[in-house]
Chain A
């Protein structure tokens, strides 16, 4: 079977592209994003692997990866990608597809009380915005 844009283009891939403003077929799988990703060793698949899943139309699988939650939006990938793909935005669109489905990843009230007391507001607000939607 020959892969083509039309064949793998699902409704969800279009949604990811709209939300992220990125074209998943723009990525040519060089792996530079992964090479500089501080969280790559906690991801499987790694960032360019997530891009590959999307290129193959496998959005649901991409949504089940640890990468979606471990991504710290550090923009290293985006600022180095030779194809100008903003992978941080792609990761955000996958997170939002899950969170908007109604299931928060973290509920602030579920965090340890001791952590809630000590963590600075910036940490708590960021955490709530990224993991609660």
Chain B
């Protein structure tokens, strides 16, 4: 089955570690991702006021493009998933806004709606029948969900917002050990870190300390903004507070790539400022000396 893939603005540029492992795992598992035609940035945040339909234009167009291609839309970034899925939910319920967008974009929204999927769900079903060649034995992984994947639940319908299980299931399928910790669904501070770092630093201190106390060796996320805040705030905290020990952060697709023995070229570590390699050394491909 083919899917319309919506990469979003961040994966192909600053988070190649995410994008490369999305594409490689899809090829390896036979998940056909075809990049959506002429997509634009999803606008990053879902408009929370009733009178700002312009904030929905990009996701509205992406949904129509996917429909015209006759496929479900798949995305990997929590932000894109959040915005596009909520837009699809709104289009099914708010006729007035839908008509405004249709008039503005001069395109008709399909009455039957468009399915929006997160790549994690596709991986979960594909991996059920695959024995990972490099099981991530004894690796203790703290799944960090954050906000955008989970809330509001009635619109996103992804997982239980208070006790999600999907990433833990993925971790188990890869042969690693999921670690449950108190702050795995708490916010990382999101965009507020660009205005005032204090809030994000406090949030990240709580998240990382709680994961560490529970025994996690790495954190996994599906959100570039969480990735950024976790690294940026952890590094700032570590310089000021010698007792604070950061944890490396990986995208969930990187973990899958390791377990499926991805070649070295697909594993880009340059975006990581907290090097995860020591924590996953046992599962890295052997690099042949030239």
Contact = CB atoms under 8 A, between A and B. Distances in A.
Contacts of B191: 72, 123, 126-127, 130-131
Interface stretch (A3-11, A26-34, A89-97): A89-97
Interface string A107-122: 0000100010001111
Given A88-B48, A96-B49, A121 B202 contact: no
A58 B254 CA distance: 49
A73 B45 contact: yes
B196 A106 contact: no
Contact of B202 (A42, A69, A86, A124): A42
A120 B161 contact: no
A41 interface: yes
A120 B189 contact: no
B257 to A, nearest CB: 20
Interface string A47-70: 000000000000000000000011
Given A75-B152, A126-B225, A89 B48 contact: yes
A120 to B, nearest CB: 5
Contact of B161 (A21, A79, A91, A123): A79
Between A42, A74, A88, the greatest number of chain B beta carbons within 10 A of the residue's beta carbon is seen for A74
Contacts of B196: 42, 69-70
A122 B8 CA distance: 9
A78 interface: yes
A125 B44 contact: yes
B48 A92 contact: yes
B195 A106 contact: yes
Interface of B: 8-10, 13-15, 41, 43-45, 47-52, 55, 77, 79, 147, 151-153, 161, 186-187, 189-196, 198-199, 202-203, 206, 223-225, 227-228
Interface of A: 18-21, 38-39, 41-42, 69-76, 78-79, 86, 88-89, 91-93, 96, 105-106, 111, 115, 119-127, 129-131
Q: Which 8 A-B pairs have the closest CB atoms?
A: A74-B187, A92-B48, A75-B151, A126-B191, A125-B44, A72-B190, A127-B194, A121-B9
26 contacts: A18-B50, A38-B189, A38-B202, A39-B189, A39-B199, A42-B196, A69-B195, A69-B196, A73-B190, A76-B151, A76-B187, A78-B152, A88-B48, A120-B10, A121-B44, A122-B10, A122-B224, A123-B193, A123-B225, A126-B45, A126-B79, A127-B194, A129-B43, A129-B45, A130-B45, A131-B195
